[in-house]
Amino acid sequence: MSQDAPKTPWWNDRAIRAILYQILVVGAVVLAAWYLISNTLDNLAARNIATGFGFLTRESGFAIGESPIPFDPADSYAKAILVGLLNTVIVAVLGVILSTMIGTVIGVARLSGNWLVARLASFYVETLRNIPVLLQLLFWYALITEGLPGPNQALNPLPDVYLSNRGLKFPTPDWGGVEWLVLAALFLGMAGTFLLVRWAKRRQALTGKIFPTIRAGIGLILGLPLLAWIALGAPTQMNAPELQGFNFEGGHSVSPEFVALLTGLTLYTASFIAEIVRSGILAVAPGQTEAALALGLKRGQVLRLVVMPQALRVIIPPLTSQYLNLTKNSSLAVAIGYPDLVSVSNTTINQTGQAIEGVALLMAVYLAVSLAISAFMSWYDKKTALVGR
Amino acid sequence: MSDLASHDPKTATEIASHVEEPSQAELHIHRRNAFSALGWARDNLFSNIPNTILTVLSVTVLVWTVPPLLDWLLLKATFLGADPQACRDAGGACWSFIEVKHRFILFGLYPYDEHWRPLLAMGLFIAALAASCDPRLWNVKILYVWGLVLPVCGVLMWGGWLGLTFVPNDKWGGLPLTLILATLGIVLAFPLAVLLALGRRSDMPAIRAICIGYIETVRGVPLVSVLFMASIMFPLFLPEGLTIDKLLRAQLGIMLFTAAYLAEAVRGGLQALPKGQYEAADALGLGYWQKTRLIILPQALRLVIPPIVNQFISCFKDTSLVIIIGLYDLLTTAKTALADPLWRPFYIESYVFAAFIYFLFCYFMSRYSQYLERRLNAGTRR
């Protein structure tokens, strides 16, 4: 009505207020950071600790119990940390695979029409997920190192496989160098299957013809190495572990720490994955199964083509968090002495006093690993997501 | 009853027949049960061949595991008053280990003669927690209860007042420590979590960036590394001469860690609120804080109570990680009790005892969270 509406005073303008608030918050954060950093620098100067990552190239001087790559105390701290990272990755990858398998079985079992099976699966889930994983790790570790006999009376569940308080010993093929060719054939089979699946999908989209990819894939993956093995003269020579003095010689050995860590992490995570799988399957409307059956699809096809693709959409996001949790929980290795990233970093920090660099490095590596896993899973998630309007 | 009698003259016989009828029906049900036990087994255990195979397999597993387990747990076990040698001779579980060590496992290094103090504090604390679980008491009164219980617990634990001897908090341990770390971890993290969640959904890019950065960084690293930071780096952050004790540092670490996870739970609640609620609040001319305090948070937090309880469960389990920086929580005391050379072989008993305590708390909380979920959904279910 009036020509000049009452002008909002500048301190009540939303945009200006927003900028003000942000300047205040950022200022407070910067101030706090500056205060902490200046304190830290003073403290470091007072304790004569040099800053920076120069220590990484120095000789580490400690031995690492198990390492996928050769490592000795004369190697640098950087290489020690790399060994720790590799050990973490090995446990995480195996743990993810095993816990997915066990978790899926338990999750499906909880939905089983068989009362006994469903009860056993519920018991598994309720017990294992309500006990701290660290307690479980310590339990498995104690069970292996205290409960199993020494190498002299090692348990011998399979020929040439020994279980003792020094860990698990098993034979490895010793075919005079040709085992690599068999392994190469296996990879060739996997690559061939991958290409075959792509070709079969394209052909089905174009012509509607279905190619028996599963049978052909299994044939390729198992058949190629078998053919290679026969072609190389079917060698059967094994490098078997043998008791010599107080310990085993030969074969391959897995340490008690590794067995305890992998067992604990796998069984604990599987109890969470089971619940995720169960809720995913329950989330698919029963009408979907009925409709698919009415179309004349077989039971297996219904599961593979109708139920699983829909269940996966519900399953994958929480499954990603479980994979991340498993990877992060592998840091508990420090409590039982498996030389993972945390354990090696901890030793490094204790020896060099470079606490800040050590912890920062540790956090940065875990962040990178977490981001890599989430990125991969969200790519996969997008691939399987519902294509809506 | 009298009403009924006045209307109907034949009530007595009617009532008699009504009394008669259920007993007959019961008989019938009993008779049917005898058959239906078989019918049930056929439906649930042997409906088809794969199912029968599964049943046989499960029974085999049970027969293979349960008798030896019972044998160990009860039949061959030794109970009160047995010494380590008697335990070893019997070959079963050695429950006298728990009898000898339970006070250490439950209370850690707390002075032996003063154990009644943490016990009483724990009792009060658990009673207050249990009371807070009843949705009928979710009002101001529960705050008064906590306002009374917490200082009493503090006095009991620390002492140095009312004739109680002073016990420094590096002597605290066992279950009380686990409870303190978990509860304060959640309670202290809560306000920070709400601010982080609001910040993450804010329109202001700088604030949003800071909140996202904090949440994603903390969620991306393991708790072990946060605890290392708390135990090794915090002392470096503080000015010369100022130190905070180890327990407080661990508590801060757990609090900072929990806040990031809790913030995501709260964000879930904020996102689940219908947009209309925000718009209606804006239409009323409420400012941001009025809108948030009066309209948004009360509804959003109600939605996320079950995830918060779940977060409490993980926090409770995660406190066991303080073993890595050398605090005497329940898991550490269970492990330390084994250091006694006399009782060294009885590690299973020690871990089973600790696991049982953790299990009781976590199982109760997970059941409670399911109950809340049902109760809170009752209004919205169609």
pLDDT tens string A201-215? 888 888 888 778 788
Shortest Cα distance, chain B CAs vs residue A230, angstroms: 37
pLDDT tens string A7-58? 777 777 778 888 888 899 899 999 999 998 888 888 888 877 777 787 888 8
Evaluate whether B170 touches B117 at the Cβ level (below 8 Å). Answer: no
Helix (H) or strand (E) holding A275: helix A256-283
Shortest Cα distance, chain A CAs vs residue B25, angstroms: 28
| CA atoms of A332 and A343, how far apart (whole Å) | 9
- Of B231, B134, B126, give the one whose Cα is nearest residue B179: B126
Evaluate whether B375 touches B135 at the Cβ level (below 8 Å). Answer: yes
> Measured between beta carbons, which residues in chain A are less than 8 angstroms from residue B207?
21-22, 25
Structure-token pair, residue A181: 């060719």
Given this model, what pLDDT does residue B208 score?
92
Residues contacting B238, CB < 8 A, separation 6+: A39, A43, B244
- Please check whether residue A328 touches B, CB under 8 A: yes
> Measured between beta carbons, which residues in chain B are less than 8 angstroms from residue A335?
323-324
- Please check whether residue A378 touches B, CB under 8 A: no
Structure-token pair, residue A132: 């701290």
Locate the chain A residue with the closest alpha carbon to B354. Answer: A135
Q: What are phi and psi of A362, to 5 degrees?
A: -55, -50
pLDDT tens string A184-237? 888 998 999 889 888 888 888 888 887 787 888 888 888 888 888 888 777 777
| CA atoms of A53 and B308, how far apart (whole Å) | 40
pLDDT tens string A138-154? 999 999 888 888 877 87
Shortest Cα distance, chain B CAs vs residue A297, angstroms: 21
Structure-token pair, residue B29: 């049900």
**Tell me, what amino acid is at A17?**
R
Find the CB nearest A113 among B47, B320, B358.
Answer: B47
CA distances from A53 to A57, B8, B378 (A): 8, 96, 58
- Please check whether residue B76 touches A, CB under 8 A: no
Which residue ranges of chain B lie beneath pLDDT 50? 1-22, 382
| CA atoms of A127 and A125, how far apart (whole Å) | 6
Structure-token pair, residue A70: 């050769």
Locate the chain A residue with the closest alpha carbon to B42. Answer: A114
Interface test with B, best of A16, A131, A146, A326 (most B CBs within 10 A): A131
Please report which confidence band the pLDDT of residue A257 belongs to, taking 50, 70 and 90 as the band edges: very high
Find the CB nearest A39 among B54, B229, B239.
Answer: B239
Chain B window 82-141: which residues touch A at a Cβ cutoff of 8 Å? none
Shortest Cα distance, chain B CAs vs residue A138, angstroms: 8
Percent of chain A scoring above 70 in pLDDT: 96
- Please check whether residue B60 touches A, CB under 8 A: no
pLDDT tens string B146-176? 889 889 988 888 888 888 888 888 888 899 9
- Of B118, B187, B186, B61, give the one whose Cα is nearest residue B333: B118
> Measured between beta carbons, which residues in chain A are less than 8 angstroms from residue B351?
135, 138-139, 142
Q: What are phi and psi of A170, to 5 degrees?
A: -140, 155
Locate the chain B residue with the closest alpha carbon to A364. Answer: B221
Q: DSSP 3-state assignment of A74?
A: coil
- Of A231, A219, A215, A216, give the one whose Cα is nearest residue A182: A231
Specify burial of residue A88 (Cβ count, 10 A radius: 0-12, 13-18, 19+). buried
- Please check whether residue A132 touches B, CB under 8 A: yes
Structure-token pair, residue B34: 């005898």
B79-85: which pairs have CB atoms within 8 A and are 24 or more residues apart? B84/B342, B84/B343, B84/B345, B84/B346
> Measured between beta carbons, which residues in chain B are less than 8 angstroms from residue A26?
206, 210
CA distances from B32 to A62, B22, B43, B78, B312 (A): 74, 15, 15, 45, 46
> Measured between beta carbons, which residues in chain B are less than 8 angstroms from residue A44?
236
What residues does B174 pair with on adjacent strands?
A: B329
* Torsion of Cα atoms, A201 then A202 then A207 then A208, to 10°: 20
Given this model, what pLDDT does residue A243 score?
75
């939303």: which residue's tokens?
A14
Interface test with B, best of A116, A324, A373 (most B CBs within 10 A): A116
pLDDT tens string B76-131? 888 877 788 888 888 778 888 888 888 898 998 888 888 899 999 999 999 998 88
- Please check whether residue A349 touches B, CB under 8 A: yes
- Please check whether residue B212 touches A, CB under 8 A: no
Specify burial of residue A87 (Cβ count, 10 A radius: 0-12, 13-18, 19+). buried
**Tell me, what amino acid is at B235?**
P
pLDDT tens string A283-301? 888 888 899 999 988 877 8
Given this model, what pLDDT does residue B29 score?
54
| CA atoms of B357 and B359, how far apart (whole Å) | 5
> Measured between beta carbons, which residues in chain A are less than 8 angstroms from residue B321?
134, 332
């995913």: which residue's tokens?
A280
Question: SS3 string of chain B?
Answer: CHHHHHHCCCHHHHHHHHHHHHHHHHHHHHHHHHHHHHHHHHHHCCCCHHHHHHHHHHHHHHHHHHHHHHHHHHHCCECCCCCHHHHHHHCCCEHHHHHHHHHHHHHCCCCHHHCHHHHHHHHHHHHHHHHHCCHHHCCHHHHHHHHHHHHHHHHHHHCCCCCCCCCCHHHCCHHHHHHHHHHHHHHHHHHHHHHHHHHHCCCCHHHHHHHHHHHHHHHHCCHHHHHHHHHHHHHHHCCCCCCCCHHHHHHHHHHHHHHHHHHHHHHHHHHHCCHHHHHHHHHCCCCHHHHHHHHHHHHHHHHCHHHHHHHHHHHHHHHHHHHHHCCCEHHHHHHHHHHCHHHCCCHHHHHHHHHHHHHHHHHHHHHHHHHHHHHHHCCCCC
Chain A window 81-120: which residues touch B at a Cβ cutoff of 8 Å? 112-117, 120
> Measured between beta carbons, which residues in chain A are less than 8 angstroms from residue B354?
135
Locate the chain A residue with the closest alpha carbon to B204. Answer: A18
Is A112 close to B54, i.e. CB distance below 8 A? yes
In the predicted model, what is the mean pLDDT of chain A? 85
Helix (H) or strand (E) holding A172: strand A172-173
Neighbours of B375 (CB within 10 A): 12
Residues contacting A55, CB < 8 A, separation 6+: A77, A348, A352, A354, A357
| CA atoms of A5 and B80, how far apart (whole Å) | 88
Parallel, antiparallel or unpaired: strands A172-173 and A247-249: unpaired
| CA atoms of A371 and A320, how far apart (whole Å) | 11
Chain A window 148-177: which residues touch B at a Cβ cutoff of 8 Å? none
Chain B window 15-54: which residues touch A at a Cβ cutoff of 8 Å? 44-45, 47, 51, 54
Locate the chain B residue with the closest alpha carbon to A15. Answer: B204
CA distances from B217 to A280, A315, B222, B223, B270 (A): 29, 24, 10, 12, 21
């503090």: which residue's tokens?
B154
Evaluate whether B47 touches A115 at the Cβ level (below 8 Å). Answer: no
**Tell me, what amino acid is at B351?**
Y
- Please check whether residue A49 touches B, CB under 8 A: no
Structure-token pair, residue B209: 């960036």
Find the CB nearest B351 among A21, A139, A346.
Answer: A139
Is A332 close to B321, i.e. CB distance below 8 A? yes
Evaluate whether B201 touches B272 at the Cβ level (below 8 Å). Answer: no
Percent of chain A scoring above 90 in pLDDT: 28
Shortest Cα distance, chain B CAs vs residue A186, angstroms: 33
Half-sphere exposure of A218 (CA within 13 A, CB side): 3
